[in-house]
Amino acid sequence: MTYSQGLLDLETPPPASLTAAVEALDPGDLERLIAEELRRMAPPPKLTVSEVAEAERRLSSEASAAKGRWKTRPYQREIMDVFTDPDIETIVVMSCAQIVKTEIILNSILYAALYDPGPMLYVAPTLTMGDTFSTDRLAPMIRDSAALKKIFGDPRSRDSGNTVRRKEFPGGIWTAAGGNSAASLAGRPIRYLWVDDLDRLPPSAGTEGDPYELARMRTSEFYNAKIGIFSTPTWESTSRINEEFEKGDKRFFFVPCPYCETPQRLVFSEETLVWDKEGEGPDRHRFETTHYICGECNKAIDEAARLEMLRGGFWKKTAVGDGRTASFHLSQLYKESKPFEDTARRFIKAKRGGALKLRVFVNTVLGETFKDEAQGANPDVLFIRRDHYPAPVPAGGLVVVGGADIQKDRIELDLRAFGRHLQNWGLLYRVFYGDPLHPEVWEDLSTFLTETTFRHEWGADLPIAAVGIDSGYLPDMVYAFSRAHPGARYWPTKGDNAAEGAPLYKLTTPRSGKNRRPVELMTIGTDTAKSMIYTFLDYPEAGPGYCHWSADPAAGYDLEYFRQLCAEEFRIEEKRGRKSRVWHQLRPRNEALDCFVGALATLSRLNPVWTALEERLAPDDDDDETTPPPPPLKAPGGRRPKRWVDRR
């Protein structure tokens, strides 16, 4: 220690000027200085995070429906208080969405800043998300909590050290970083680290490697470092938060049955969460009767009893772990504001929507990983199950979209009709031969897309509503084609193979030469799209997500098409210590799969209003053979019927 680090340090003699200054002090002032220095050097008081939060935290109107002092819920207390346990370095919370994580992060920041300061780092999946946390959550807490407002500078002052990404306070500094920014993860050592939404962090921060490991390495200089990791999980095989959870002591919240008093976890299944049903059909569920069945005495626990159970709950360790990690799990079943009825409704809605909707339910409502099943498909089985349609577009198909793939000597196009819950019908697979560097093949494609309609089973003629065209090869030609049809929805696409679990599509505006009208590029999350498609291919019977193909030879769905459709499978690979899902091509040609990917993303962007489409296409009840069919829907570029697609 040097004299600059402490007024009372005796190892380094102070300069004469400092000695003179001390001697000139009034004895009372000197006593106050010594008392202040002793207070600064004293260990923090033996308070817990929950105690400090209840004493100092005021809820902000921007982020909370409630107002006034912070009140700790039973299942939150131990997660927060383990933050001050000297034997624990890492706190892991794997949970459903919107239950504990943000408030726990805020309360631990509050505690550390007031009673045990040090350098802090908050890591979000992106730098923009880190800014949002700072602006929408941290800044209001500082403003509304008097103790924090006193130690943090005024953000309106240039000299305050208080900015969106950097907030200074006595003894420490809080910094925001993004998993997509290596620069934000670099810098000085840190004592406190919070990683928010671990499973959504990108695989690499630029070219620097795993952002989680980069951030964690910065805590190595502190023997008393604290690391908080929070996330909803994703795939079973690659979920980082699940991996960290398994390292710990795996704590679950046990609640006593109001009848037999047996402590138990609240676990979702169709046997534990039950409700009455009347009759048949989708409206038979009486969700208002939902109750939980005790695993010991088999008695029904209603909503009022659930709230009483939560007040008597406690955390229980179910594993030994590594001794340095406390890991916690929570599902929506423990959330006071979400009754049993809400969980039941969400489950049935997800079940009707197919495996992809069910995955969202499992991840974000139950807080559990989802098992990877869509590894591949059998082309021979799919070829055999082709259908003979009653009309070019069966009744369930409501809108026609396509995906196109550009090759060196041809353009391949798959046109599919989609209906509710993504059930879909393959209408036509067509190849336009010709060099895409020359205009003739593009003219053939343009004529076909503009003039082709498909007769619906209810009588209307359906145009091709939108087409996604892969721009990975010859992007300028694809952009030019899109630009040449300003009234149509011929959208350039490009697959992003690196982003696991990315959105199905996102829009960007690529540079495409000077003095040219810009085009919007759809960047497709191919991992998400292919996972959806291969999940759909595995469905055994018609319903949400089920894929149909026409058995008419003229439709083009031959055995080679299905071999291309089933040309890939995913494998779990480990790179730099991190597991990821990697799609591998099993045969040279996969154009059919690429076309389906493009069509699925195009439908997502089109965002059809299914009710409006059904009303537009449905025949009148009193139709007879003399009634003419309804007029055709306008092709893209013409005047569209009102509200049959969502305008964005």
Write the pLDDT tens digit of every residue in 226-274: 999 999 998 888 899 999 999 999 999 999 999 999 999 999 998 999 9
pLDDT digits (tens, 9 = 90+) for 177-223: 999 888 899 888 999 999 999 999 988 887 788 899 999 999 999 99
Question: What pLDDT does residue 624 have?
Answer: 47
Provide the residue count of the chain: 648
Question: What pLDDT does residue 358 have?
Answer: 85
More confident residue, 196 or 60: 196
Question: What pLDDT does residue 633 have?
Answer: 47
Confidence label for 157 from pLDDT (cuts 50, 70 and 90)? low
> Is pLDDT at 635 greater than 70 in this prediction?
no
With pLDDT > 70 as the criterion, what percentage of the chain qualifies? 86
Token digits for 245?
């959870």
What does the pLDDT average to over 143-165? 79
Question: What pLDDT does residue 325 have?
Answer: 97
With a CB cutoff of 8 Å and minimum separation 6, the contacts of 155 are 139, 162, 163
More confident residue, 456 or 635: 456
What does the pLDDT average to over 446-463? 95
Question: What pLDDT does residue 627 have?
Answer: 43
Three-state DSSP state, 312: coil
Confidence label for 154 from pLDDT (cuts 50, 70 and 90)? low
- Residue 462: HSE in the Cβ half-sphere, 13 Å Cα cutoff: 33
Confidence label for 647 from pLDDT (cuts 50, 70 and 90)? very low
Question: What pLDDT does residue 643 have?
Answer: 35
Confidence label for 462 from pLDDT (cuts 50, 70 and 90)? very high
Show the domains of the chain with their CATH numbers.
3-41 (no CATH), 43-250+319-330 (3.40.50.300), 256-314+338-371 (no CATH), 379-617 (3.30.420)
> Is pLDDT at 645 greater than 60 in this prediction?
no
> Which residues, in sequence order, are bridge partners of residue 506?
523
Token digits for 489?
């929805």
Q: Find which of 328-342, 577-591, 608-622, 628-642 is predicted with most confidence, using mean pLDDT.
A: 328-342
Find the range with the poorest average confidence among 70-79, 215-224, 340-349, 628-637.
628-637
> Is pLDDT at 114 greater than 50 in this prediction?
yes
Tell me which DSSP letter residue 632 carries. P
What does the pLDDT average to over 281-307? 91
What does the pLDDT average to over 399-414? 96
Three-state DSSP state, 58: strand
Question: What pLDDT does residue 446 have?
Answer: 95
Q: What are phi and psi of 100, to 5 degrees?
A: -140, -25
> Is pLDDT at 113 greater than 60 in this prediction?
yes
Of 109, 98, 101, 102, nearest in space to 56 by CA = 109
Question: What pLDDT does residue 51 have?
Answer: 95
| Rounded Cα–Cα distance for residues 322 and 633 (Å) | 64
With pLDDT > 90 as the criterion, what percentage of the chain qualifies? 63
> Is pLDDT at 68 greater than 90 in this prediction?
no
Token digits for 192?
């406190």
Q: What are phi and psi of 175, to 5 degrees?
A: -130, 140
What does the pLDDT average to over 363-387? 84
Report whether 163 contacts 175 (CB < 8 A): no
Confidence label for 20 from pLDDT (cuts 50, 70 and 90)? low
For residues 51, 98, 82, 179, the Cα torsion angle rounded to the nearest 10 degrees is -120
With a CB cutoff of 8 Å and minimum separation 6, the contacts of 37 are 6, 7, 8
What does the pLDDT average to over 391-402? 96
Within 87-165, strands assigned E span 90-95, 119-124
User: Helix/strand/coil (H, E, C) string of 235-265?
Assistant: ECCCCHHHHHHHHCCCEEEEEECCCCCCEEE
Three-state DSSP state, 235: strand
Report whether 253 contacts 334 (CB < 8 A): yes
Give the count of beta carbons closer than 10 Å to the beta carbon of residue 84: 21
For the chain, the straight-line distance linking the first and the last C-alpha, in angstroms and rounded, comes to: 62
Of 346, 197, 359, 193, nearest in space to 275 by CA = 346
Question: What pLDDT does residue 374 have?
Answer: 54
pLDDT digits (tens, 9 = 90+) for 29-41: 777 777 777 766 7
> Is pLDDT at 21 greater than 90 in this prediction?
no
| Rounded Cα–Cα distance for residues 138 and 154 (Å) | 14
What does the pLDDT average to over 349-369? 86
Three-state DSSP state, 178: strand
Find the range with the poorest average confidence among 335-349, 371-385, 548-562.
371-385
| Rounded Cα–Cα distance for residues 422 and 143 (Å) | 47
Report whether 108 contacts 80 (CB < 8 A): yes
Which helix (H) or strand (E) segment holds residue 255: the answer is strand 251-256
Confidence label for 318 from pLDDT (cuts 50, 70 and 90)? very high
Question: What pLDDT does residue 497 have?
Answer: 78
Confidence label for 648 from pLDDT (cuts 50, 70 and 90)? very low
More confident residue, 473 or 22: 473
With a CB cutoff of 8 Å and minimum separation 6, the contacts of 601 are 403, 468, 493, 504, 505, 522, 524, 529
| Rounded Cα–Cα distance for residues 103 and 63 (Å) | 10
Question: What pLDDT does residue 66 have?
Answer: 75
> Is pLDDT at 290 greater than 50 in this prediction?
yes
